[in-house]
């Protein structure tokens, strides 16, 4: 089945810096790649997604890049704020199988 690898496992940055999270998947049949954010004690929150027919998507301070050939994604967060501190999850979806998640990247932003 699908496997999703996510790196790094954790990041500590100062407010205002940028963050880059990398993700790779194995199943070429995966077509949809949503990313979620989980703050302590809160529910998983959708932040951005991309489909396999796209290469780039931007949503305010978030930019998601997708390379179908290498099965690789990267999430770039610019101008980080303390409110960006959370665990970020990459995921891949293959039609009816639900989402396969990476292990998450814990981002800590200090003022």
Partner 1 sequence: ETAVFQTPNYHVTQVGNEVSFNCKQTLGHDTMYWYKQDSKKLLKIMFSYNNKQLIVNETVPRRFSPQSSDKAHLNLRIKSVEPEDSAVYLCASSPRLGGSYEQYFGPGTRLTVL
Binding site for partner 1 (CB under 8 A): 30-32, 34, 36, 38, 42-46, 49, 51, 87, 89, 93-101, 103-104
Least distance (Å) between residue 51 CB and partner 1: 6
Nearer to partner 1, 46 or 69 (CB): 46
Question: What's the min distance (Å) between Cβ of 20 and partner 1?
Answer: 20
Residue 60 half-sphere exposure toward CB, CA atoms < 13 A: 4
Peptide bond into 77 cis (omega under 30): no
Spatial separation of the C-alpha atoms in residues 53 and 44, rounded to whole Å: 25
Shortest Å distance, C-beta 47 to partner 1: 10
Whole-number Å distance between alpha carbons of 59 and 44: 18
Our measurement of the distance from residue 104's CA atom to the centroid of its chain's CA atoms, rounded to an integer in Å, reads: 8
Nearer to partner 1, 65 or 87 (CB): 87
């Amino acid at each position: 089945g699908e496997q999703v690898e996510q790196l790094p496992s954790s990041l500590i940055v100062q407010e205002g810096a940028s963050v880059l999270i990398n993700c790779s998947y194995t199943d070429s049949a995966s077509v949809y790649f949503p990313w979620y954010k989980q703050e302590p004690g809160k529910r998983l929150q959708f932040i951005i997604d991309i489909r396999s027919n796209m290469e780039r998507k931007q949503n305010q301070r978030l930019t998601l890049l997708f390379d179908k050939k290498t099965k690789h994604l990267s999430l770039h967060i610019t101008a980080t704020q303390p409110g960006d501190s959370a665990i970020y999850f990459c995921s891949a979806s293959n039609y009816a199988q639900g989402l396969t998640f990476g292990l998450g990247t814990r981002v800590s932003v200090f003022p």
